[in-house]
Amino acid sequence: MALDLRSDFPILEREVNGHPLIYLDNAATTQRPERVIEAVSRFYRELNANVHRGIHYLSREASELYEGAHEALAQFINADFREVVFTSNTTDSLNMIAWGWALRNVAEGDRIVTTVMEHHSNMLPWRTVAELRGAEVVYADVDDEGMPLMKQLESLIDERTRLVAISGMSNVTGAIPDVGRVVRAAHQVGAVAVLDGAQMVPHMPVDVRQLGVDFLAFSGHKMLGPTGTGVLYGRLDLLEEMTPPRPGGGTIRDVTLEGVDWASLPWRHEGGTPNIAGAIGLAEAARYLMDVGMEAVREHEKELTRRGLEMLSSIDGVILYGPKDVERRGGIIAFNIEGMDPHMVGALLDSRGIAVRTGLHCAHPLHRRLGAEEGTVRASFYLYNTLEEVKVLAEALREIASLA
């Protein structure tokens, strides 16, 4: 059954260029429901204070809400609250793994395995670690639909491999690889499995115990939460072992001139004053999604994607990228129109009030592999989008394609 949640999102009442806003740029950032906006506003209006640094009432109340936010996100992914570290975004989370764990555990001659599908944020930190430690990064190729070649990926994971990093859903094609299979291959050789969940976590049920991943990174702003918020999930023993990548205020129990006694988890990995209001807003976003149900979110997006692919594939000149089977992809449709620059297509859609993303989407190697060197147009759906909006997109593209 289609979700009917639009009244929860004030921005969807806007008009853009004389048309009702059709927001299809959810893979870049999502909109916020009123209750998330209110949670952030209430913090600043009524109880603004620093956390874990005062005995006065406001500080105690802020600290309780901040700690409760960790509990909410832990529930959202089925983790222990001690395994939930708040960060700025997915990129920040992945870099924390790189500097806190990989830099101290990857040695000369070791191997890091990832894929051509990855967002730059799940490529560049591992390259830097490899350069500093004398290790190598190797990439599994993808097929013509953008899906990682699993047999090739497994063949690259050998006894030298210390870390395997993969995205749970491509931010370009929406391709959803078999994460469990990747995790099993990594664990067979004693490697750590890192999951970039930026696109996966907001759009489908994610259970870290079921997946068996060692680290998971995701962003708040892609799941109805405030910008500048993110989560690093790490297996408890790995977070205990991991050196705080940002040591300083809030990360310690005691410091002497000779040494340091780190704070308990997760606080040892959250140096300095955190984004308290953002964390409270992110927790409210997680609760909102749990109230809706992530299975319902996934089914809603699958239906929009299925119908969108049907409609766009019937338009002469439209080139579609990604798996044809909606069971193997998320709510993302990347496309081009033959003979037209993707940015021009995006601008023409914007003139009709339709917001999409154009360009290379921080995934240059994948675009080159798919033969889309100039980039793609990306329409991405979320729980508040409707079939009617998909129809309007298709009608607009039919008109635009006739201009090519």
Read off the DSSP letter of residue 367. Answer: H
CA 266/CA 247 separation, integer angstroms = 13
Which amino acid would we find at residue 8? D
* Cα pseudo-dihedral 120, 153, 323, 376, rounded to 10: 20
With beta carbons less than 8 A apart as the criterion, state whether 235 and 84 touch: no
Measured in Å, how far apart are the chain's first and last C-alpha atoms?
37
* Cα pseudo-dihedral 58, 60, 63, 68, rounded to 10: -110
CA 176/CA 146 separation, integer angstroms = 10
Q: Give me the sign of the Cα torsion angle 18, 22, 28, 31.
A: positive
Distance of CA 21 to the CA centre of its chain: 24
Nearest to 93 by CA among 122, 120, 131: 122
Question: Looking at the DSSP assignment, which residues form a beta bridge with residue 376?
Answer: 359
Catalytically active residues are 362
| Token digits of residue 93 | 């989370």
Long-range (24+ apart) CB contacts under 8 A made by 14-23 are: 15/353, 16/350, 16/353, 16/355, 17/350, 17/351, 17/352, 17/353, 18/353, 19/352, 19/353, 19/354, 20/353, 21/353, 21/355, 22/353, 22/354, 22/355, 22/389, 22/392, 22/393, 23/355, 23/385
- Length of the chain (residues): 404
Nearest to 117 by CA among 68, 157, 176, 32: 176
Helix axes 57-77, 276-292, angle to 10 degrees: 40
CA atoms within 13 A on the CB side of 15: 3
With beta carbons less than 8 A apart as the criterion, state whether 130 and 156 touch: no
| Token digits of residue 256 | 């002497």
